[in-house]
Structure 1
Amino acid sequence: MSYRLAYRRPWELLWGNINKRNVCVAGDAFHPMTPDIGQGGGAALEDGVVLARYVAEALLKEPSEETKEEGEEDKEQHERIEMGLNKYAKERRMRAFELITTSYFAGFVQQSEGKIMSFLREKFLASYLRGLLLKRADFDCGRLNFS
């Protein structure tokens, strides 16, 4: 089976799949963005914390008595990991959408040409964009607890 890599528009993330069975995407594969919003590395670290939290939850959970008796522990653990990846995808989807959309908008504003766009960029969009970038940087993905 082969997969084709393709550019994904920001809004496609809302209904697209980022995980399937026990595989998911994270970091740049999940939320590609331009460097001018300064969030790529931070967002990848956020992904790592959230992903580790859900995978650890799945791995640390004791198998049920039924599966111990039937020898189905691996299958149950696989299902728990899959559920953890689903939780990760659900939690991170909107954050990734915000970052990709901000990057898309910032690129559009900065690369657009013409007198009208230059006027709008210099008089209105620069201050709006600055506030938007600061807002995206203020995010807490929670703690990763160690036991």
Structure 2
Amino acid sequence: MTLDIVQGGCATLEDSVVLVRCLAKALSNETSRESKDKDERELDEYKRIEMGLKKYAKERKWRSIELISRACIIGFIQQSNGKIMTFLRDKILAIFLSDLWLKKADFDYGKLRIS
């Protein structure tokens, strides 16, 4: 993600919260240790981690695509030198995008529980 929308750090925090939630949910389903040997338990744990990571990727995919696309478009506009783009950038872009930036910062990733 480029620096044009100043959301990289926030997106990283969002990613970490969602990743921890997905992995915690996947790993909280304990299996009976008496019924399985070590190899079976490790394979089961591996599959649960894999499912948690897939859920994380599915949950974060569109948010990431949206942030990256917006950063690229804004970067293109800010670096353009044409008369029309300069006018749009200087007169309209800041007013129009300030509301959108505030809405992007208001992302609800759910509550965290301390166990």
18, 35, 46: which one pairs with 1:69? 35
Q: What is the correspondence of 1:120-139 to structure 2 with a 5 Å cutoff?
A: 120-139=88-107
TM-score by length of 1: 0.70
Please report how far the alpha carbon of residue 126 of structure 1 lies from its aligned counterpart in structure 2 after TM superposition.
2.6
Deviation at 1:111, TM superposition (A): 0.5
Give 1:100 deviation, angstroms.
Answer: 0.5
Letter in 1 for 2:27: L
Q: What is the Cα deviation at residue 128 of structure 1?
A: 1.8
Out of 13, 17, 26, the residue aligned to residue 58 of structure 1 is 26
Note the alpha carbon deviations across 1:14-62, whole angstroms, 9 max, x for none: xxxxxxxxxxxxxxxxxxx222312111110111111011111122211
Q: Matched residues in 2 for 1:78 and 1:68: separation?
A: 18
Percentage identity across aligned positions? Answer: 55
Partners in 2 of 1:85 and 1:93 — Cα distance? Answer: 12
Instruction: Find the counterpart in structure 2 of residue 146 from structure 1.
Output: 114
Structure 2 stretches lacking a partner, 5+ long: none
Deviations 1:57-111 (A, max 9, x none): 1222111x5x752421111111011000011001101111111011111101111
Query: Displacement, 1:125?
Result: 2.5
Higher relative contact order (CA 8 A, sep 6+): 2
Moved more, 104-113 or 68-77: 68-77
Q: Secondary structure at the match of 2:30?
A: coil
CA distance in structure 2 between the aligned counterparts of 1:119 and 1:36, rounded to whole angstroms: 18
CA RMSD of aligned residues (A): 1.6
| Structure 1 residue matching 2:35: 3-state secondary structure | helix
Q: Any unmatched runs of 5+ in structure 1?
A: 1-32
| Post-superposition offset of 1:122 | 2.4
Q: Which has the larger radius of gyration?
A: 2
TM norm structure 2: 0.87
SS at match of 1:69: coil
Q: 2:84 aligns with which of 116, 121, 125?
A: 116
